[in-house]
Amino acid sequence: MKRANTFDVIPQSPEDKELLRRLLDASAALWNEINYERRENYAGPDGDVWDISEYRGRYSGVLGASTVQQIERKNREAWKSFFSLKKKGEANGKPGFWGNSEDRRELRTYIRNTSYSVEWGEYSRLEILVGKHLKDEYGLGHRERLRLELRGDPNWKEYDKQGRLELFYDEQAQSFKAFQPVTISEDHSRVAQPLASEEAALDIGANNLVACTTTTGQQLLYDGRDLFERFRETTREIARLQSLLEDGRYSSHRIRRLYDRRTKRRDHAQDALARDLIERLYDEGVSTVYVGALTDVLE
């Protein structure tokens, strides 16, 4: 079975933080170059999106050859998905870039499953491969990897196989995070099951994002007023800026930046809410969740 762990990644020194940021920034630069070349090939009458330049010579010194390979592969997967959706008439745009010239690149990378290791304990840690040039510049040994602290309590500490690690900087949370796909056996899957079979009902609304009642008597309420007020403020600012545009123009870099900020803020709030709610329900022994009006569920 496929599952995933998510956790916070903490550099142990300012030098480690700088090294990590450079690694992620170089990864984003690589993605953008590959994606730009493929978009140009796609637009050309005789272009082949799969025929791209060799990037390992330019980037392996910073990223390591295996990370260059993973980013190339991830971009290829994105384009395959685009063509698959296009064939079904569902494509909503070509694969995009990681960031832009105004807001800088999005800090992100993908590490091959054999190029990182995770160790859980009192002092949990993540070790990742970096390129030789960065090793030399930051004083890492020939066989040494960048060691980073981990924080979190993932459900799947025991697994049969780890997948490609996604490592990124969360602008909203102002922290580095990791997403680790894992393959687990049925024996290990029981570890993450609640220890009881209680039930919970969720009522999803606007001002109150989620109201929750469980059969244990617990009641949880997530207030969304502040979040929606910030959403409305950003929406009003977008409308104001659109009213100032010249005739025939519908957007600008600043407007697109506000749209992107609004979307990321909403997504981050939703993710944080879901994570907190699931953790609380798990602790209550809840194994079944009903979504809908509470009165309909509990009658």
Last residue of a domain, one of 165, 191, 217: 191
CA distance 23 to 16: 10
User: Domain range spanning residue 286?
Assistant: 195-298
The sign of the CA dihedral 190, 191, 196, 200 is negative
Claim to verify: residue 216 and residue 165 sit in the same structural domain: no
**Which H/E stretch holds residue 267?**
helix 253-283
Q: How far is CA 241 from the centre of its chain?
A: 30
Is 10 in the same domain as 30? yes
Q: What is the pLDDT of residue 214?
A: 86
Domain count, the chain: 2
What are the residues whose beta carbons fall under 8 Å from the beta carbon of 294, sequence distance 6 or more?
A: 201, 202, 203, 211, 213
Last residue of a domain, one of 146, 165, 191: 191
d(CA 42, CA 45): 8
Q: Which residue has the tokens 């809840």?
A: 286
Q: Is the same domain home to 43 and 124?
A: yes
My answer on whether 182 and 266 are in the same domain is: no
Q: Does 44 lie in the same domain as 10?
A: yes
**In whole angstroms, what is the distance from residue 24 CA to residue 178 CA?**
12
Beta bridge partners of 213: 201, 219
Q: Are 107 and 89 in contact (CB under 8 A)?
A: no
Q: What is the pLDDT of residue 288?
A: 83
- All residue ranges of the chain with pLDDT < 70 are 101-103, 186-196, 206-207, 292-299
Alpha-carbon distances of 271 from 83, 114, 267, rounded to whole Å: 29, 29, 6
Structure confidence at residue 292 (pLDDT): 65
Phi, psi of 82 (to 5 degrees): -60, -45
181 and 219 both lie in a single domain: no
- CA dihedral of 7, 8, 9, 10, whole degrees rounded to 10: -150
CA distances to 63, 95, 112, 152 from 155, in Å: 29, 32, 21, 10
Are 26 and 144 contained in the same domain?
Answer: yes
Shared domain check, 183 and 219:
no
Judgement on whether residues 217 and 177 belong to the same structural domain of the protein: no
- Residue 298 has a pLDDT of 42
From 128, 156, 191, give the residue that closes a domain: 191
Q: Are residues 157 and 282 in the same domain?
A: no
The confidence score (pLDDT) of residue 112 equals 96
Residues 184, 63 share a domain? yes
**Contact criterion met (CB below 8 Å) for 298 and 208:** no
Residues 129 and 203 in one domain: no
pLDDT tens-digit profile of 54-112? 998 999 999 999 999 999 999 999 999 999 988 888 877 889 999 876 668 899 999 99
